[in-house]
Amino acid sequence: MDKAFTLYGKTFQSRLMLGTAQYPSPDVLARSIRASKCEIVTVSLRREAGGSRAGEDFWQLIKQQNVAVLPNTAGCHSVKEAVNTAQMAREVFGTNWIKLEVISDDDTLQPDVFALVEAAGILARDGFEVFPYTTEDLSVAEKLLQAGCALLMPWGAPIGSGRGLNNPYGLRTMRARFPDVPMIIDAGLGAPSHAALAMELGYDGILLNTAVAKAGDPVLMAHGFALAIEAGRAGYLADPIEPRDMAVPSTPVFGRAFT
């Protein structure tokens, strides 16, 4: 089974990306990262900013995990705010990677796709490698690629909702429309089965936070997601059978004994 997972020229073995917020303790966060076997974690600048002791301790913990850091612009509601946050994150974390979030609605945390495209273009021209949190809208996807994004991160469902894939048809269509673009399902998953389904649709990876951080046993849930992603990827590559309306016997009738 193929394991290479390449994002902006960097190759990883794990297809799971893990958020670092809302864990019950730093120790649980560290053990969850290890259990997930992820090689990329997302970090909000708001957690790290300010130079406080808590921020320094958190950053040291992340460094100890030997993982790549994907800063994000969580909580931003405008192009200016997102761009400024991304520029500060580049200075703090020393990376051109940025998970770009521009939120339009506080209840659903739905992306503001108009501002998202504008901000993506500004950041790409400034040398950023943008990971855009978007919807499954095909026209928005096309504009993000034109703006300079080399990958897409459509939501499965609203952030933290745990609903899984709200629109499998739309996600399947998006995957088919851009077959050569790396795509990561970002947000809304609640159980490992949701991740397996996304991978069976042909998505390249999964980014999640709440489903692990707020689980009764985050470490065990992180392990479960890791297994589900591997299983879903194997199922996709194996070329599963098409669903049928009628039964098809698995044992041939020819040669069967009759009385």
Cα separations in angstroms, 136 against 28, 154, 173: 33, 5, 9
Check residue 91 and report its DSSP letter.
Answer: H
- For the chain, where are the alpha helices, taking DSSP H only? 26-36, 45-48, 53-64, 79-93, 113-125, 138-147, 168-177, 192-200, 210-213, 218-237
Which of 252, 245, 208, 243 lies closest to 229 in space, CA to CA? 208
Please report, to the nearest 10 degrees, the dihedral formed by the alpha carbons of residues 160, 135, 95, 5 taken in order.
Answer: 90
CA distance 208 to 203: 14
DSSP string, 194-219: HHHHHHHTT--EEEESHHHHTSSSHH
Query: Which sequence positions are flagged as catalytic?
Result: 99
CA distance 7 to 99: 12
The answer to whether 156 and 187 are in contact (CB under 8 A) is: yes
What stretch of H or E contains 68? Answer: strand 68-72
